Amino acid sequence: MTTDPGTSAETRLRSRPFDRLVWQRPLSYWLTLFGPWIGIVVFGVFMMLMREDWFTVVNVRNILIQASVFMVLAVGMTFVITGGGIDLSVGAMTGATALTVAWLVKFTNLPDILAILAAFAVGALMGTINGLLVTRLKMPDFIATLATWITYGGAVLVVIEGHTLFRFSDTVRFLGRYRLFDQIPMAVIVALLVAVLGHVLMTRSRFGRYTIAIGGNRKASVEAGIPVERYKMFHYLFMGLLAGLAGVIMLGRLNAVHGLVGEGYEIHTIAAVIIGGTALYGGVPRIWGSIGGALLLGMMANALTFLGIHYFVQYVLSGVIIIVIVLVYSLLGYRQRPEG
C-alpha cells in the first residue's frame, strides 16, 4: 500500500478531528496553536500594568504597522522552513526591492506603478537564484542563502553609495501609509490578506500538501514521485515575491531608503516563525502562529522603545525567546525533527 506523500502526523490529525477527545490532545498541540496569541495577551496585560498610556489606539496601530512587514515575510518563511529549508537572505532581499523602487522613481522616468512592479520582479529573481543554488548546485540552504545575503546586501551598498533616498509620491507610499476610512492601515490589511493566502495554499492546495510532505520526510516524498526540487524552487520564489511586497510596504512606511535598510530582518522573521510553532526542521506549519509570532515580537520591540530600553536589546531578547520556546516544545514532546 502506498501512503499519500502529503500525509504526515500533522495532516492526519487535522483530517480526523474526532478520532480523539479534545482534552486528550497533547499540551504541545495547543501550545503551538495558541502559544503566540496567549503570549500577546499576557504581554499586553503586563504592559498595561507597567504603563497606562501604552495601550492606546495610536500605539496599537503603530505596533500593527511596524509588524506588518514581518507578518508578510513570516508567511513566506513558513513555507521555506516547512519544506525543510531556511532563507537568511530575506532581509537583504527586502532592502534590495525597496531600493529598486526608490532608484527607479528617482533616477528614471518610469511610472511609479511600474517601479513598484519591478520590485516584485527583482524579488522573484533573487528568490529564483536562491532556489537554483539549492536545487541545481546542491548547496545547503544555509550556506546558499548566507552567500546571497552577503551578495544582495553588498549590491545595495554599492548602488546607493552611502546616500539616503527619501520623499516619494503618494503612489509609492500607498501600501505603507494609507489608512482605510482614515483608521485601518493598508499595510495591516495587506499583511492579513497574505496570511489568508498562505493559509489557503498550505491547507487547501497541492503546493501546501507537498511542502509539508517534503519537510516531513524528503526521502519518502522522492519515492512517492513528488518533484521535490521543483517545489523547493517554488518555496524560494514565493519568498522572493513576498520580500518584494515587504520592501514596497517598508519603503512606503519609512518614506526613505538607505544602505542598511532591511538589516536584521532575517533574524526577526525566523524568530517569528519559530515562536509561532512551525517546526524548525520542517513538516509542521503554523501560518497563523507565524503571524502571532511577528506581532508578539513587534509588541516587544515597541515596548522596549516605550520603556526607553536600548534597541539592540531586542536581538538579545529574540534569541532568548527562541531558546525558551524550543526548549518548552521539546519538553512537551513537540516534534522538531523530521521523520526519516
Dmax over CA atoms of the chain, in Å, equals: 63
In a domain, 179, yes or no: yes
Q: Mean pLDDT across the stretch 248-263?
A: 92
CB-based burial, 83-108: b 16+ in 10 Å, e otherwise: bbbbbbbbbbbbbbbbbbbbbbbeee
pLDDT tens digits for range 7-47: 444 444 344 444 445 556 666 667 767 888 988 999 999 99
Closest CA to 287 of 48, 49, 79: 79
Q: What is the pLDDT of residue 317?
A: 74
Sign of CA dihedral 256, 319, 77, 177: negative
User: Distances in Å between the alpha carbon of 9 and those of 217, 257, 274, 334?
Assistant: 11, 44, 19, 11
CB 236 within 8 A of CB 127: yes
With a cut of 60, say whether residue 335 has pLDDT above it. no
- pLDDT at residue 24, rounded to an integer: 61
Amino acid present at 251: L
How many structural domains is the chain composed of? 1
Is 185 part of any domain? yes
8: left (phi over 0), alpha (psi -120 to 50) or beta: beta
Q: Is residue 129 assigned to a domain?
A: yes
Q: What is the mean pLDDT of residues 229-239?
A: 96
Whether pTM exceeds 0.85: yes
pLDDT band per the 50, 70, 90 thresholds, residue 163: confident
Instruction: Name the CA radius of gyration of the chain, rounded.
Output: 20
Q: What is the pLDDT of residue 12?
A: 43
Averaged pLDDT of the chain: 87
What's 67's DSSP letter?
H
In a domain, 250, yes or no: yes
Which residues is 22 bridged to in the sheet?
none
pLDDT of residue 27: 65
Helix (H) or strand (E) holding 166: strand 165-166
d(CA 237, CA 53) in angstroms, rounded, equals: 42
Phi-psi region of 162 (alpha: psi -120 to 50; beta: other; left: phi over 0): left
Domain that holds residue 157: 28-48+56-331
Nearest to 291 by CA among 79, 82, 74: 74
More confident site: 198 or 31: 198
- Does 319 fall in a domain? yes
pLDDT(334) > 50:
yes
- Cα 194 from Cα 46, distance rounded (Å): 30
Task: Look up the CATH number of the domain holding residue 38.
Answer: 1.10.3470
Q: HSE (CB half, 13 Å, CA atoms) of 166? A: 7
CB atoms within 10 A of CB 41: 10
Calculate the alpha carbon distances from 61 to 39, 66, 177, 216, 298 in Å. Answer: 19, 9, 11, 37, 11
Query: Which amino acid appears at position 130 of this protein?
Result: N
Residue 283 confidence (pLDDT): 86
Q: Which three cell numbers stand for residue 272?
A: 517569528
- Is residue 18 assigned to a domain? no
Q: How many residues does the chain have?
A: 340
Query: Would 34 be classed as within a structural domain?
Result: yes
Convert the pLDDT of each residue in 147-158 to its tens digit. Answer: 999 999 999 999
What is the average per-residue pLDDT within 114-143? 96
